[in-house]
Amino acid sequence: MNRRSEATDGPGTPTGAAPFRQAQAGCRDSLARLMTAHEKLVHAVVRKQVLGDLPFAEALQAGRIGLWRAILGFDPQRGTAFSTYAWTCIMHRVWREVKLADRAQGQAARHLPLTEAASWADEDRDPARDWEAFAADCALWDLVARLPQRLQVVVLARYELTGQAQAFYAQIGAALGVSGERARQLHTEALIWMRQPAHSQHLRSLLGRHTLADYEAVEAETQRWLRWRGGRHGR
């Protein structure tokens, strides 16, 4: 069972398509039961997101709106688990609120330049139509969350994912207690780690970047980096 299913499964969780059809037909009781049953999923999503200047309570409320939209838009016949579908819808709504909060502070949050995922700023986007793009963004955030701690700090700071302006290598190095040059090297190491098929297989499959040529390019890049690191340590 995956992490997202664990966040929602339980003895009181409604199962099957009937509760969703009832909620979509206007049954308030069914909607309320589904909202309550999947409240833990909202908390799980919010805890994994970088909220910037958005208060945690407001992020939870935004997540609940995303869950509500997911319930009303979910189609069991598409073959996607509700927890997976809802995860993307919740992230969509929370990230939209994060961007609005950042904009209010005169800051512009940017995505990592590793995917071609859709912008989440448009409230009227159809979650079903954009599911694959949202799923790619979720997979990317999951990948960042699995980085070793120092590498995660570098990636978050370089790509403005903390809600702050992009940090220079010297600033990142000072925070980590290393030189700016070492911070740059850690940035390269983080990107090498994230591009490894063993770490990024799910994201690669979503983006269609899991061909032999893609893997060979990653391997060549990794070998160049290992040779450089070996030569540096051998001095």
The string of pLDDT tens digits covering residues 69-123 is 889 888 888 777 888 888 878 887 888 787 777 665 554 444 444 443 444 444 5
**Residue 38 contacts by C-beta under 8 Å, 6 or more apart in sequence?**
8, 13, 67, 71, 82, 83, 86
Cβ atoms of residues 158 and 167 within 8 Å: yes
Give the rounded percent of residues in the chain with a pLDDT score beyond 70.
75
> Considering all CA atoms of the chain, what is the largest pairwise distance in Å, rounded to the nearest integer?
71
pLDDT at residue 92, rounded to an integer = 78
- Which residues in the chain come in under a pLDDT of 70? 1-15, 102-134, 161-164, 231-235
Rounded Cα–Cα distance for residues 83 and 87 (Å): 6
